[in-house]
């Protein structure tokens, strides 16, 4: 286990280093230099203005020096300041984080609540009409684009049923009930693909376990089928499902950008998109770096959890 842990940690560190180079490099790949894009007409008018701006942003130094300085900042928790508002990127991110985090947790939560029973049911009813219906439903769930599902839900609830959540943002701590009514549809939208994924995974994992020797032994002992299903099979079948849920939480990190746009929620995704449209590159860079790192750490945590849950890996 400790050798495995060490290998995983080293690999994660190497990948994080690669991620930092990629994120650092991305702004330098912008066609036409960033400064000229920012200055627009002024850049054509006066080369001196461009030069002074380049010096101000440190762009006149060699690339490796720029990278070293940037990385040193990142490691100290300093991701630079927004070109637009002059505020630190980390502060902007932290300010928006609660909305996105709440959305992600709600989405994963409901997708587990729906996906595990559905997948288990499909496995128990294997080959029947109910199994087929659940499988088709899961494929449909994977094929729904979040932005369109969100649009349909808004249309249905807000416009046709007149169920209008307030337009001004209600923070969870201050107006919890209002907040949850605002979050219900976004979370439903964000979690649909995940629920479909978890349904599929629960089904195949459950089928796998139901064919094992120890399940046959349990049945041979004369235990009732419900006890075999829930006590012996489900507990073991859930191990891979947990890891899928963890990985899906990572994918939800990406889906947040789309869902926050559809429902105009003031989260991290909104921050990223606004920064892209306004060419506020430090914010773009910072948000992508943090979300990428978050995604990686989630994957690492899932791998370790899997190793801890599965005794075969624990001994190795």
Residue ranges in contact with other proteins by CB under 8 A: 11, 14-16, 18-19, 21-23, 26-27, 29-31, 126, 136, 139-140, 142-148, 151-152, 154-155, 159, 207, 211, 250-251, 253-255, 257-258, 261-262, 272-273, 276-277, 284, 288, 291-292, 295-296
Distance CA 302, CA 245 (A): 9
Residue 133 beta carbon to other proteins: minimum distance, rounded to whole angstroms:
13
The HSE-up count of residue 144 (CA atoms within 13 Å, CB side) is 25
Helices and strands counted in the chain (H then E): 15, 0
Q: Between residues 147 and 214, which has the closer beta carbon with respect to other proteins?
A: 147
Q: Between residues 179 and 299, which has the closer beta carbon with respect to other proteins?
A: 299
Measured CA to CA in angstroms, residue 302 lies from 102, 246, 280 at distances of 20, 6, 33
Distance CA 15, CA 53 (A): 33
Contact criterion met (CB below 8 Å) for 254 and 269? no
Residue 18 beta carbon to other proteins: minimum distance, rounded to whole angstroms:
4
Contact criterion met (CB below 8 Å) for 209 and 215? yes
Q: Between residues 27 and 180, which has the closer beta carbon with respect to other proteins?
A: 27
Residue 256 beta carbon to other proteins: minimum distance, rounded to whole angstroms:
9
Residue 175 beta carbon to other proteins: minimum distance, rounded to whole angstroms:
25
Residue 62 beta carbon to other proteins: minimum distance, rounded to whole angstroms:
21
Instruction: Output DSSP code: residue 229.
Output: I
What distance lies between CA 93 and its chain's CA centroid? Answer: 15
Q: Between residues 115 and 255, which has the closer beta carbon with respect to other proteins?
A: 255
Q: Between residues 90 and 207, which has the closer beta carbon with respect to other proteins?
A: 207
């Amino acid at each position: 286990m400790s050798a495995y842990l060490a290998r995983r940690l080293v690999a994660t560190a190497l990948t994080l280093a690669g991620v930092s180079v990629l994120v650092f490099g991305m702004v330098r790949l912008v066609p036409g230099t960033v400064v000229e894009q920012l200055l627009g007409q002024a850049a054509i008018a006066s080369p001196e203005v461009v030069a002074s701006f380049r010096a101000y942003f440190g762009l006149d130094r060699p690339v490796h020096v720029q990278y070293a300085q940037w990385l040193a900042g990142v490691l100290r928790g300093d991701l630079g300041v927004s070109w637009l508002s002059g505020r630190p990127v980390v502060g902007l991110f932290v300010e928006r984080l609660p909305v996105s985090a709440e959305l992600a947790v709600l989405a994963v939560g409901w997708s587990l609540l729906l996906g595990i029973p559905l997948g288990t049911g499909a496995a128990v009813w294997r080959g029947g009409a109910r199994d087929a219906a659940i499988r088709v439903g899961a494929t449909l769930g994977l094929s729904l684009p979040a932005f369109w599902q969100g649009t349909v839900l808004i249309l249905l609830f807000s416009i046709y049923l007149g169920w209008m959540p307030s337009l001004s943002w209600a923070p969870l701590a201050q107006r919890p009930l209002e907040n949850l009514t605002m979050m219900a549809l976004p979370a439903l939208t964000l979690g649909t693909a995940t629920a479909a994924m978890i349904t599929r995974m629960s089904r195949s994992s459950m089928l796998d376990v139901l064919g094992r020797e120890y399940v046959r032994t349990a049945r041979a002992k004369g235990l009732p089928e419900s006890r075999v299903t829930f006590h012996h099979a489900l507990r073991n079948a859930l191990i891979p499902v947990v890891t899928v849920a963890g990985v899906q939480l990572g994918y939800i990190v990406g889906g947040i950008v789309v869902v926050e746009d559809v429902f105009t929620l003031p989260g991290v995704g909104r921050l990223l998109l606004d920064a892209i449209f306004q060419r506020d590159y430090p914010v773009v860079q910072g948000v992508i770096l943090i979300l990428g790192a978050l995604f990686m750490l989630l994957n690492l945590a899932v791998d370790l959890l899997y190793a801890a849950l599965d005794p075969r890996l624990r001994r190795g």
